Amino acid sequence: MSNPLDPAMFTECRSADLPMRLKNKWAPKIMRCLVDGPRRYSELQVPLVGISPKVLAESLRSMERDGIVSRTAHPGMPPKVEYELTALGFSLLKSMESWCDWADEHLEELLEARQAYEGRAWQMC
């Protein structure tokens, strides 16, 4: 039998304070949209099929709060707002690319594991 888990095992782990909300599936996609420079909100909506305006706004606000993107409001009628990656956001891209590389390399295994799991779950019913 293995040793019991320490209830305080994460108390010294700073990952809970990570600026990136990893549970936000849209953040990496938004970052990818901003790689080539500033974009307006309406421009971001085009490739982000399936995201609601509310979720896009919340995601951008969260990413701005965490220093991943910056928001610049330009005066005029109508007002023009642009979002762009910060230096901190660009520094996160390398890690994000590592995740993508891993997914590309192991996608078949992942899909096979899911299919096997679903087959077992179906048989248990």
Can you tell me the mean pLDDT for 21-47?
87
Distance of CA 75 to the CA centre of its chain: 30
CATH topology of domain 14-92: Arc Repressor Mutant, subunit A (1.10.10)
Given a contact cutoff of 8 angstroms between Cβ atoms, the answer to whether 81 and 73 are in contact is yes
pLDDT per residue as tens digits for the range 45-103: 999 989 999 999 999 999 999 899 999 999 988 889 999 999 999 999 888 888 888 88
Rounded mean pLDDT of the chain?
Answer: 85
What DSSP designation does 80 have?
A: E
How confident is the model at residue 10, as a pLDDT?
62
Residue among 67, 38, 42, 75 at smallest CA distance from 56: 42
- Give domain limits for the chain: 14-92
Tally the C-alpha atoms within 13 A of residue 80's C-alpha that lie toward its C-beta: 8
